[in-house]
A and B are shown apart, each in its own frame.
Chain A
Amino acid sequence: MTVILAPTPVTVADAPQLPFLVRFRLKGTPWIPILILLLIIVAAMGGESIAPHDPNGLDLGAAFRPPFWQAGGSYDYLLGTDNLGRDVLSRIIAGARVSAIVVLYAIGFSGAIGTMLGIMAGYFGGIVDMIIVRITEIMMAIPTLALALIFTATMDPGLSTVIIVIVLTYWTWYARIIRSEILSLRERDYVAFAKVAGCGPVTIFLRHLVPNIFNTLVVLMTLQVGQVIIFEASLSFLGVGIQPPDTSWGLMLADARQYITYAWWGITMPGIAIILTCLSSNLIGDWLRDLLDPKRRQL
């Protein structure tokens, strides 16, 4: 007697996922944004050592020099100087470092906290879910900048306060999206099997859930870069973010604002740095989303 086994239908979803790098297609890769972002990363890593001038070096004799292509400008100061004769390009390079630090820490922590809570809410459900969802709703009831202002009103402003504020406001974003992802993942058979096989929650989280939300996380984090940079710039612009003698793009804009009538480059150059960084990371994020996570095209 022969037993005829029904052929197991193979669907696309069952096909083994190729590793991240193999699936990297060259076609449609946003090379220009990648190049811009790489340049900014190099600037951030090099910092003062690659800046043509000391970003805090005062030289009142060289104040308000225009960029090199304008009359009165020189190749010494490619993007001109500010009211105290500090080189705008060097300050942009120094500001890239601050932005990079804020982005790394803020996204790292808010991503980790939000993901953890999102997994817990989605996986355990019930009262845990209710509490976490309620907290995210409450956090979202306070406009982000208002939350940041009340926080900086009571803490000393500075780099670490900026990072804490961003983490406090952005973890909810991860928590909500990861939670909804987990809600569908936890119903999958392999999670049920793992549970039956006696795996504890930690094993299930790390071995079965985290790998499945990895793509979503990468996309979310890339898309958050631009938002964090704008948020940091806004705080610094208001004077509650990065404090002198540190420099940041938002702070440069705040300084240059008073001299807007004499020096147009003072407000345009740092702004262009912000826009290029945000635009590049958003475009890369969109591309990654299409590449890794076709379900989320509407995100």
Chain B
Amino acid sequence: MRIVFAKGLLNALISMLGASLIIFIMSRLSGDPLSLLLPMDAPQSAVQAMRHELGLDRPMWDQYLIFLWKAVQGDFGRSYRWQMPAIELVFERLPATIYLAMAAFAFSLALAIPLGVLSAVRRGSWIDQIARIIAMLGQAVPSFWVGLLLILVFAVNLQWLPAFGADGVQHVILPAIALGWYPVAAQTRVIRSGMLEVLDSDYIRMGRAVGTPERLLIWKYAFRNALLPLVTIMGVYFAYMLSGSFVVETVFAWPGLGRTVVEAVFARDYPVVQAGVLITSILFVLSNFLVDLSYSIIDPRIRL
């Protein structure tokens, strides 16, 4: 177990290092960050001084190590736009994104579990057909369009729910549906195939033979085992939520990390973009690591 943990952690660390390298290289592709920091007509000597001060006259490799060393300490520089350390801004906005992701997750499971279980129990019935249509649409409908449509129907026409902002529970409903829409398809499919496999096993048949009530059989004995494959794709979908939050938060003006990064891209606020993307990647890697780990704890047959 300890070896499994160490191996996974090492892999996660290498991935994070690699991600930081890619982020560094990409943000240096733009050329000279000095052109943003100094006025156009700055004298040559001032440019040189600034270049030296920021370490831009050193070799790339050196610059990367400095970037990394500072990043480890949480220093990404100050946001040009918000006049505060970029990392503070990122951590200030992160809770809203995680709140939205959790709500979206809850929505997707609330839809996927009954759909998946019932479509497996009643194979070929109308509920199985609905599950199939949802699975098909899930991959073809972009989440931001779901968001726009939800605004059109529930905020503009019916005026049931607010379209923008984040003041209360009613504000999270529409963005959570838009963000949680896509994973429903995959989750339903995973639960359905897991259930089909479990329902076919000997102990379920045995249970049925001795007269265990069907409801108990499905929800207590079969469903728990069918949950296992769901855990493996949890990490993937948490990651998807982080990625999807960029678009969905923009549609609903949700004050989270995603919208902050998108706005920072337009403001050319590089420290915020770098910090936001790196923190997102770290969360992404960590969630995958935890999922792998929990999977090997839940199911000892699987080893990392």
Q: Which A residues fall within an 8 A CB radius of B?
A: 134-135, 137-139, 141-147, 149-155, 226, 230, 233-234, 237-240, 253, 257, 260-261, 264, 267-268, 271, 274-275, 278-279, 282-283
Known: A238-B250, A278-B141. 11 other contacts (CB 8 A): A138-B21, A145-B247, A147-B22, A149-B246, A149-B277, A153-B27, A257-B148, A260-B151, A260-B152, A264-B152, A271-B142
Q: Is B16 an interface residue (CB 8 A)?
A: yes
What residues of B have a CB within 8 angstroms of the CB of A145 in the complex?
243-244, 246-247
A238 in contact with B277 given A146-B261, A150-B23, A271-B149 (CB within 8 Å): no
The answer on a CB contact under 8 Å between B26 and A253 is no
A153 in contact with B265 given A275-B141, A278-B140, A282-B140 (CB within 8 Å): yes
Please tell me which one of the listed residues B137, B152, B274 contacts residue A267 in the complex, with CB atoms under 8 A apart: B152
Report the nearest B residue to A281, measured CB to CB: B140
Report the nearest A residue to B17, measured CB to CB: A138
Which stretch (B46-54, B208-216, B279-287) binds chain A? B279-287
A150 in contact with B273 given A141-B19, A143-B284 (CB within 8 Å): yes
Please tell me which one of the listed residues B16, B141, B242, B274 contacts residue A150 in the complex, with CB atoms under 8 A apart: B274
The answer on a CB contact under 8 Å between A275 and B246 is no
A275 in contact with B284 given A143-B239, A149-B261 (CB within 8 Å): no
What residues of B have a CB within 8 angstroms of the CB of A240 in the complex?
265
Q: How far is the CA of A139 from the CA of B26 in the complex (A)?
A: 13
Q: How far is the CA of A236 from the CA of B273 in the complex (A)?
A: 18
The answer on a CB contact under 8 Å between A139 and B246 is no
The answer on a CB contact under 8 Å between A230 and B280 is no
Per-position contact with A for B227-249: 1 when CB-CB < 8 Å, else 0? 00000000000011011101100
What residues of B have a CB within 8 angstroms of the CB of A149 in the complex?
246, 261-262, 265, 273, 277
Nearest CB of B to A135, in Å: 8
The answer on a CB contact under 8 Å between B145 and A253 is yes
The answer on a CB contact under 8 Å between A261 and B19 is no
A141 in contact with B284 given A253-B145, A260-B148, A260-B151 (CB within 8 Å): yes
A141 in contact with B265 given A146-B243, A150-B273, A268-B149 (CB within 8 Å): no
- List 6 A-B pairs, minimum CB-CB distance, nearest first: A138-B18, A154-B30, A143-B243, A278-B140, A141-B15, A279-B140
Chain A contact residues: helix, strand, loop or mixed: helix
Q: Is B129 an interface residue (CB 8 A)?
A: no
Nearest CB of A to B33, in Å: 10
Per-position contact with A for B136-155: 1 when CB-CB < 8 Å, else 0? 11011110110011011000
The answer on a CB contact under 8 Å between B140 and A275 is yes
The answer on a CB contact under 8 Å between A234 and B144 is yes
The answer on a CB contact under 8 Å between B140 and A153 is no
Q: Is B201 an interface residue (CB 8 A)?
A: no
Q: How far is the CA of A240 from the CA of B263 in the complex (A)?
A: 11
Please tell me which one of the listed residues B26, B239, B242, B247 contacts residue A237 in the complex, with CB atoms under 8 A apart: B247
Q: How far is the CA of A22 from the CA of B266 in the complex (A)?
A: 53
What residues of B have a CB within 8 angstroms of the CB of A282 in the complex?
136, 139-140
**28 A-B Cβ contacts within 8 A?**
A137-B14, A138-B15, A139-B22, A141-B15, A141-B18, A141-B285, A142-B23, A142-B281, A143-B239, A145-B243, A146-B243, A147-B22, A150-B26, A150-B273, A154-B26, A155-B29, A155-B30, A234-B142, A237-B250, A253-B148, A257-B251, A261-B156, A267-B148, A274-B140, A274-B145, A278-B139, A278-B141, A279-B140
Q: How far is the CA of A139 from the CA of B265 in the complex (A)?
A: 20
Q: Is B270 an interface residue (CB 8 A)?
A: yes
A260 in contact with B156 given A149-B273, A238-B262, A282-B136 (CB within 8 Å): yes
Nearest CB of A to B61, in Å: 18
Q: How far is the CA of A149 from the CA of B242 in the complex (A)?
A: 13
Most buried by A among B140, B156, B264, B273: B140
A142 in contact with B19 given A150-B26, A226-B139, A233-B142 (CB within 8 Å): yes
Q: Is B268 an interface residue (CB 8 A)?
A: yes
Q: Is B11 an interface residue (CB 8 A)?
A: yes
What residues of A have a CB within 8 angstroms of the CB of B149 in the complex?
267-268, 271
What residues of B have a CB within 8 angstroms of the CB of A257 in the complex?
148, 251
From 1 to 35 in chain B, residues with beta carbon under 8 angstroms from any chain A beta carbon are 11, 14-16, 18-19, 21-23, 26-30
A279 in contact with B145 given A149-B262, A150-B277, A238-B246 (CB within 8 Å): no
Q: How far is the CA of A145 from the CA of B16 in the complex (A)?
A: 17
Q: How far is the CA of A264 from the CA of B14 in the complex (A)?
A: 48
Per-position contact with A for B172-191: 1 when CB-CB < 8 Å, else 0? 00000000000000000000
What residues of A have a CB within 8 angstroms of the CB of B29 in the complex?
151, 154-155
A151 in contact with B26 given A141-B19, A143-B284, A146-B261 (CB within 8 Å): yes
The answer on a CB contact under 8 Å between A239 and B266 is yes
The answer on a CB contact under 8 Å between A143 and B242 is yes
Q: How far is the CA of A226 from the CA of B141 in the complex (A)?
A: 9
Report the nearest B residue to A231, measured CB to CB: B142
Q: How far is the CA of A134 from the CA of B10 in the complex (A)?
A: 12
The answer on a CB contact under 8 Å between B140 and A141 is no
Q: How far is the CA of A204 from the CA of B137 in the complex (A)?
A: 41
